[in-house]
Amino acid sequence: MTNTTSTPTDMQVLNSLKSVIDPELMVNIVDLGMIYNITIDSSTNLIEVEMTLTSKGCPLGDVIMQHATEVLKAQYPNYSSLINLVWEPAWNPSFITAQGNKELE
């Protein structure tokens, strides 16, 4: 269980986001390489996540982003979260981790 009274680390946030699964590929968004940056501001209690989708036309993009927001809210109730969707750099399969590739096999 995450300690919600102290400032979370980038790694803790990444581990939390591993529970967010891309419903089309059935792999989590971290191992798909969709998370580009995490900023945690303990002075404002804000977790900001910069992420992308596998394509601009992803029909389930809103679902994925909503699930990410819900996961962060549940894991870090003392923090608000902001999910910023970005398109640069454009996502490509080389961003997938070794674990993600294993799950895609």
Question: pLDDT tens digits for 17-54?
Answer: 999 999 999 999 999 999 999 999 999 999 999 999 99
pTM: 0.91
Q: Under a CB-based contact definition with an 8 Å cutoff, are residues 49 and 1 in contact?
A: no
pLDDT band at 104 (very low <50, low <70, confident <90, very high): very high
Q: Quote the pLDDT of residue 4.
A: 47
Say if 4 falls within a structural domain: no
80 inside domain? yes
| pLDDT confidence of residue 81 | 96
If one counts the domains in the chain, the total is 1
Q: Which residues form the domain of 22?
A: 10-95
Other C-beta atoms lying within 10 Å of the C-beta of residue 25: 15
**Mean pLDDT (whole number) for 55-75:** 94
Q: Is the pLDDT of residue 73 over 80?
A: yes
Q: What radius of gyration do the chain's Cα atoms show? A: 13
In a domain? residue 104: no
The total of other beta-carbon atoms located within 10 Å of residue 53's CB is 21
In a domain, 1, yes or no: no
* Residue 84 in this model has a pLDDT that exceeds 60: yes
In a domain, 84, yes or no: yes
C-alpha 32/C-alpha 87 separation (Å) is 15
Q: Is residue 103 part of a domain?
A: no
At 5 the pLDDT is 60
Give domain status of residue 101, yes or no: no
